Structure 1
Amino acid sequence: MITEFTPEQEALIPVYKEKWDAILLSTERIDRQKAQDAIKSAYGSIGKNEVDILFYDSPYAAAIDINKQGEIKLGKPIRGKLDSQLAIKLWRQVESQLEMRLKEQLWDRQRSMLASRLEISLRRQMSRQLQDNLWVNFPKAFIRKIGTSWAKEIEFYITVLGCQHNFQKEWELFQLLVKNAFWILAYENVCFVCDRPTKINFDARQRLHAEGEPALEFADGYSLYAYHGVNLPRKYGYLHPKKWRSQWLLQETNAELRRVLIQAIGYERICQELQTTELDLFREYTLLKIDDADVEPIHLLKMTCPSTGQIHALRVPPNLTSAREAIRWVNWGIDPEKFAIET
């Protein structure tokens, strides 16, 4: 049982994380011959020696074709069998040789949400675009690129920590599959292989994000727009946020998208571009109300700088009806008269 990392071992943790994250985020076209060989070997490992392998430029194109194939021709989804044969047994054997505390430390330091965020974003978009009867079957076959998470952990256990295992052939095959295929939709009789995206963009917090262009794009033109991890319809995504219009808030019914629009446009622009009701005045402050732009009325405390004319606006609770009360709320309970004396 391994109970602690040496300094040298600890220093290698980010190296393996970066290696497998780079494979996950590669935008190079897959080598179809290598992918085909790896998939045939993977199927052979569970006793399936005959499989049709079909390649597509995007998961969406694959999903459309699945609908045409029919359940009988496809056979049952076999993702679980492949996972169990090639990775799960190996992972369990090597991780059993580490103390729980070290496994948790390694997970915390190697953890990456990139794979799951990519998958979740695609699932959300495709669930809106595809018919219900197609979407029922599509996720069951989806082998996520979460394999990269297993791969970096297993390789670290074996190569750096010296953990022993009895699955060398399976380990080599699993690496080939992760490196040479992107997303795979695996059924008993047919395996659908999706090529890598041609573009992937993230923000600093590793959330899908791009401004005025797709955050995720495939060679056939299928793309996904996102703003700090929130999927956007094309009507918003293809425009830079600086060109977004406050008036969209009045028609948008999705609460998450309204939140994104408000965040990107900013309350300063919103209070200038939408019709507002003036509730109260106090010195250079105005308490405004905007109806129909969010789940509840938007109350804004607007301050116009006397020297520059620049407008600043902060959202305050809708139960506040006086400007002085709103100023007190913004200043953590300090009355504006007292605040002015103290400053």
Structure 2
Amino acid sequence: MKQPKIGGLTPEQLELITLHQHEWKNFVLSTERIERRKATEAMQSAYSLIGEEKPEFVFCDSPDMAFRIVDTSQPYLGRRIEKKIRKPLRGQVESQLSWDLIQDLSSRLLPERIVLEGQLKRLVDEKLQFRKFIPATHWLDIAILLDVGASVLDCSFDQHKGDVIQAILKHCGWVLPYENICMICDRPTKILSDLFDDGEYLHAEGEPAIQFADGFSIWVHHGEAID
């Protein structure tokens, strides 16, 4: 007999979702140094899941440093990681939810991704004029969905793939995955923001709002890069 799809959310479940959102957001906006062993293990697992051999892992202090030294002509694996890991997991969870609940969760989870986290990715992409880096922000909504699906909604999914996605978010900063080499960049050493009438934005007065250990930095006013 076909299992009925999960419908609405109780007030208690809504409170738990908010807690999970804040927990994962803290990883994305962290300025702590990554643990290279755990980052390597997370990305090696991702390569294994898409049928690739272990690449050479190169650690950099910033996306700028990685972009300067990597050979971008080799096969890029970001889309395969998306197709073989992220999308199937989302499909597995959402197949157990009603359409209304999928829309409700999307509206609740998306803002957590597009505010400060989304600004961070956009500003670095624009500074480098390069959009192939996969930052921790990329995994935020699916990590929360998996966490909520398992602990709040009792959904089932491929646990190993889910663990890999959550490990990448927890232990990697910015990733640039190619066939034979995987660049793993550390987190920023500084992320500054301020609360304005129309929301919270990356922002700083008299200093960069985003800075990495090697000095790569972005000056930001009200969420927009300035010279």
What is the TM-score when the length of structure 1 is the normalising length?
Answer: 0.61
Inter-partner Cα distance in structure 1 for 2:150 and 2:99: 17
Inter-partner Cα distance in structure 2 for 1:98 and 1:48: 32
SS in 1 for 2:127: helix
Q: Which has the higher contact order (CA 8 A, sep 6+)?
A: 2
Inter-partner Cα distance in structure 2 for 1:126 and 1:55: 18
SS in 1 for 2:220: strand
Inter-partner Cα distance in structure 2 for 1:194 and 1:34: 13
Deviation at 1:60, TM superposition (A): 0.5
- The CA deviation string for residues 101-130 of structure 1, in whole angstroms up to 9 with x for no partner, is 222222222322133211111112222xxx
SS in 2 for 1:206: strand
Q: Which of residues 11, 32, 35 is equivalent to 2:15?
A: 11
SS in 1 for 2:182: strand
Inter-partner Cα distance in structure 1 for 2:65 and 2:213: 11
Alignment partner, residue 97 of structure 1: 96
- Structure 2 residue 195 is the aligned partner of structure 1 residue 221: no
Deviation at 1:201, TM superposition (A): 1.0
Deviation at 1:70, TM superposition (A): 5.9
Kept after mapping to 2: 8 A contact 1:35/1:180 = yes
- The CA deviation string for residues 217-267 of structure 1, in whole angstroms up to 9 with x for no partner, is 10111111000011011xxxxxxxxxxxxxxxxxxxxxxxxxxxxxxxxxx
Number of aligned residue pairs: 216
The 3 A distance-change label for structure 1 pair 37 and 91 is same
Q: What value does the CA root-mean-square deviation take over the aligned residues?
A: 1.4
Task: Give the AA of the match of 1:201.
Answer: L
Kept after mapping to 2: 8 A contact 1:13/1:106 = no
Alignment partner, residue 154 of structure 1: 146
Alignment partner, residue 168 of structure 1: 159
Kept after mapping to 2: 8 A contact 1:85/1:170 = no
Alignment partner, residue 282 of structure 1: none
Alignment partner, residue 109 of structure 1: 108
Structure 1, unaligned runs of 5 or more: 128-137, 234-343
SS in 2 for 1:122: helix
SS in 2 for 1:27: coil
Deviation at 1:11, TM superposition (A): 1.3
Deviation at 1:34, TM superposition (A): 0.8
Task: Give the AA of the match of 2:46.
Answer: A
Task: Give the AA of the match of 1:10.
Answer: L
The more displaced of 172-181 and 97-106 is: 97-106
SS in 2 for 1:55: strand
The more displaced of 201-210 and 108-117 is: 108-117
Between structure 1 and structure 2, the one with the greater Rg is: 1
Kept after mapping to 2: 8 A contact 1:20/1:149 = no
> Equivalent residues in 2 for 1:241-252 (5 A)?
none
Inter-partner Cα distance in structure 2 for 1:70 and 1:46: 20
SS in 2 for 1:225: strand
- Structure 2 residue 115 is the aligned partner of structure 1 residue 124: no
Alignment partner, residue 37 of structure 1: 41
> Equivalent residues in 2 for 1:182-331 (5 A)?
182-204=173-195, 205-233=199-227
- The CA deviation string for residues 129-175 of structure 1, in whole angstroms up to 9 with x for no partner, is xxxxxxxxx42x3223220121011210121001122x111111221
Kept after mapping to 2: 8 A contact 1:224/1:231 = yes
Inter-partner Cα distance in structure 2 for 1:16 and 1:42: 23
What is the TM-score when the length of structure 2 is the normalising length?
Answer: 0.90
SS in 1 for 2:194: coil
Task: Give the AA of the match of 1:118.
Answer: L
Inter-partner Cα distance in structure 2 for 1:219 and 1:144: 16
The 3 A distance-change label for structure 1 pair 229 and 70 is closer
Alignment partner, residue 26 of structure 1: 30
Alignment partner, residue 84 of structure 1: 83
Inter-partner Cα distance in structure 2 for 1:106 and 1:14: 11
Inter-partner Cα distance in structure 2 for 1:84 and 1:92: 11
> Equivalent residues in 2 for 1:50-89 (5 A)?
50-66=54-70, 69=71, 71=73, 75-89=74-88
